[in-house]
Structure 1
Amino acid sequence: MKKLLPLLAAAGFALSFAAHAADAPAAGASAPAKAPTAQQTRMKTCNADAGAKNLKGDERKAFMKECLSGNKASTQQDKMKSCNADAGAKNLKGDARKAFMKECLSGAAS
């Protein structure tokens, strides 16, 4: 009986350690990439627009606040300006620019 109790305690400890190790991800395995949230996408777009306009300091803060608020429904003209600025910042020309603009304008509409 005196030998049984420490043996059971050791077995319980070993099982709890094994269960914990099974829950942890493998060291070499990487987690699957998560799709960006709507807020992250909006932040990326607003940041690119502010960069394209070379805004700094308080002007940039004000622009980012307004852009990220999302209260203002953007017009097609606003979308076109934003996508055009992004395409210009990426130095896109020809078919690559057309494809980018099509994707940007359709993505901005949703």
Structure 2
Amino acid sequence: MLKKLLACLAVVSLAAPLLATAADAPADTAKKAPTAQQARMASCNAEAKDKTLKGDERKAFMKQCLSAHKQEKQQDKMKTCNADAKAKSLKGDERKAFMKECLSAHQPAA
């Protein structure tokens, strides 16, 4: 019994600094601007709240809403890369290689 108590105390004493660090983390993140993903989540959450969705309906809506944002981002990439390829008058294999590189590297602003 004493061994178990000592083991628990050891674990708690080792974990205490980690818990203190974890408690400070939310304060640090509150100061930073939200990421693009966090902004999308906030937008979709607000929409779901306005529609008073709950349970499975809310879950399905959130999945659809967040994937729609991904689709828009991909469409924006395609438009930009297509315009660049057209401006460079690329055709055939050159265009295909350019599009592959452009779509994998291009990061449009969120």
Higher helix proportion, which one? 2
**Structure-2-length-normalised TM-score:** 0.36
**Structure-1-length-normalised TM-score:** 0.36
